[in-house]
């Protein structure tokens, strides 16, 4: 079962969104919520790619930041998925984030009294897709299939015995 949520024209940085998407992919919903809350509290730094100023060259740690604003918007979107999960009677541990995609949105202009007479706003589209773990159901299905195969084998053996008995009677 797939669960999906979309955020259009969110006022967050594309670079921060991409880094957070990479952070949350293939993790459970409960784990993702915990990670994002740690980012908001500035307990967990998110590793980023590309040029980041003020990163000491030769340092052993990766360049990273605390994208608090972006993390808050991610939490709002995950709240939608969480509500859907609760509505369907599942737990957060059973749901895995499979897709987290950040795309560049159109950048709006506004005339202001700054250099060059206008200001551009950052905008990002977000898509988050989650799937329910079906491990338990798959195991049950495999067990059922094994039982059916064993039953068929037993029937086959019984059928052979009956045929042999009929031959002996003749």
The 10s digit of each residue's pLDDT in 45-80 is: 998 887 776 766 776 677 888 999 999 999 999 999
Q: What is the pTM of this model?
A: 0.73
Residue-range domain boundaries for the chain: 2-133, 134-170
Q: Mark the ranges of the chain whose per-residue pLDDT is less than 70.
A: 53, 55-56, 59-60, 110-118, 135-140, 156-170
Specify the pLDDT at position 105: 92
Of the CATH numbers 3.30.160.60, 1.10.357.10, 3.30.70.580, 3.90.470.10, which one belongs to the domain with range 2-133? 3.90.470.10
The residue among 74, 12, 64 whose CA lies nearest residue 43 is: 64
Please state, in angstroms and rounded to a whole number, the distance separating the CA atoms of residues 92 and 85.
7
Q: How far apart are the C-alpha atoms of 132 and 18, rounded to whole Å? A: 23
For 126, phi and psi rounded to 5 degrees? Answer: -125, 140
Which run of H or of E encompasses 109?
strand 109-111
């Amino acid at each position: 079962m797939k669960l999906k949520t979309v955020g259009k024209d969110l006022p967050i940085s594309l670079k921060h969104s991409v880094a957070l998407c990479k952070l949350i992919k293939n993790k459970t919903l409960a784990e993702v919520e915990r990670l994002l809350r740690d980012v908001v509290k500035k307990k967990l730094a998110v590793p980023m790619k590309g040029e980041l100023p003020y990163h000491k060259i030769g340092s052993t740690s990766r360049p990273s930041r605390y994208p608090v604003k972006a993390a808050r918007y991610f939490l709002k979107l995950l709240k939608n998925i969480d509500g859907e999960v609760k509505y369907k009677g599942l737990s957060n541990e059973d749901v895995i984030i499979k897709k987290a995609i950040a795309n560049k949105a159109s950048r709006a202009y506004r005339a202001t009294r700054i250099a060059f007479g206008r200001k551009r706003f950052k905008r990002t589209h977000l898509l988050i897709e989650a799937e329910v773990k079906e491990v338990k159901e798959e195991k049950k299905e495999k067990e059922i299939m094994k039982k059916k195969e064993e039953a068929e084998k037993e029937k086959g053996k019984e059928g052979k015995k009956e045929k042999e008995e009929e031959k002996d009677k003749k």
